Amino acid sequence: CADLANLLNEAAILTARRRKEAITMPEIDDAVDRVVAGMEGTPLMDGKSKRLIGYHEIGHAIVGTLIKDHDPVQKVTLIPRGQARGLTWFMPSEDQGLISRSQILARITGALGGRAAEKVIFGDAEVTTGAGNDLQQVTGMARQMVTRYGMSDLGPMSLETQQSEVFLGRDLMTRSEYSDEIASRIDDQVRTIVEHCYEHACNIMRDQRVVIDRLVDLLVEKETIDGDEFRQIVAEYTNVPEKETYVPIM
């Protein structure tokens, strides 16, 4: 497995640099970060931008923590890597072979947590471009729910070909008429799913504002909060759903 070899090679390099005799979990964790997200960048300067990024990442993490069907938080960090100025990592809660409708909705809501935090905390005028990749993922997941998995009000049918083109089928209407009608209905369903999830995320921000502020203060100070500490703090303010962490059988 090339990915595993690459990961262990990175961990070995870090172990040597830190003058350790054996690879330990901190080296494995840092190696995963490097392989998945890229090299560590220049630390963020304290100020408004760092706090805004902190709210964005805590937004992802708090939504993921409080929605039962979302994977549990592994850690939240403000250490830049690659193109990302902050990152929230989630640990799969079970084998990802089959994913339910509720799990996809949870992922969409979690992905919108960053933008929701910006909106609720700073207002519409202060939302940033930081959610660009999140919104692409959200739109893609919602569209697949509608066109590929039959998980919308349009019913249990596939509305795209293997080439991801909208399926037109054989109908008395002309191709263009059918195409426009189906495309419009698909867009409406996608919009409905995204708007529902976004409102859910915004409601969580409003309801949990006190603990969010505390977590952001801590994140700005420490730059990284691991999942266990994050959940312990959230649990002081509200009920945290229990989640199982998936451990693959080697």
The answer to whether residue 138 sits within a structural domain is yes
Q: Is the Cα dihedral 161, 190, 60, 106 positive or negative?
A: negative
Could you say which of 10, 27, 40, 57 is catalytic?
Answer: 57
Please give the average per-residue pLDDT across 86-105, as a whole number: 83
The answer to whether residue 240 sits within a structural domain is no
Using the predicted structure, report yes or no on whether residue 248 has a pLDDT greater than 50. Answer: no
The larger pLDDT score, comparing residue 86 to residue 203, is at 203
CA distance 10 to 5: 9
Query: What DSSP string describes 26-53?
Result: HHHHHHHHHHHH-SB-PPPPSSHHHHHH
* Amino acid residing at 61: A
Whether residue 122 sits in one domain with residue 112? yes
Question: Among 89, 205, 190, which residue's Cα sits nearest to residue 141?
Answer: 190
Whether residue 48 sits in one domain with residue 33? no
pLDDT band with cut points at 50, 70 and 90 for residue 149: very high
Whether residue 78 sits in one domain with residue 126? yes
Number of domains in the chain: 2
Predicted pLDDT of residue 171: 47
Whether residue 24 sits in one domain with residue 5? yes
Whether residue 52 sits in one domain with residue 31? no
Residue 26 is part of which domain span?
1-37
Average pLDDT for the chain: 83
The answer to whether residue 96 sits within a structural domain is yes
Whether residue 146 sits in one domain with residue 32? no
What percent of the chain has pLDDT above 70?
74
Whether residue 169 sits in one domain with residue 147? yes
pLDDT band with cut points at 50, 70 and 90 for residue 93: low
Predicted pLDDT of residue 187: 93
Q: Say which range, 113-122, 147-156, 192-201, has the weakest mean pLDDT.
A: 147-156
236 is catalytic: no
pTM: 0.80
pLDDT band with cut points at 50, 70 and 90 for residue 79: confident
Question: Among 56, 126, 125, 118, which residue's Cα sits nearest to residue 85?
Answer: 56
Using the predicted structure, report yes or no on whether residue 95 has a pLDDT greater than 70. Answer: no
The answer to whether residue 145 sits within a structural domain is yes
Q: Say which range, 16-20, 53-57, 188-192, has the weakest mean pLDDT.
A: 16-20
The answer to whether residue 231 sits within a structural domain is yes
pLDDT digits (tens, 9 = 90+) for 52-77: 999 999 999 999 999 999 999 989 99
Whether residue 22 sits in one domain with residue 67? no
Say how many Å lie between the first and final Cα of the chain, rounded: 13
Whether residue 57 sits in one domain with residue 12? no
Using the predicted structure, report yes or no on whether residue 113 has a pLDDT greater than 80. Answer: yes
pLDDT band with cut points at 50, 70 and 90 for residue 30: low
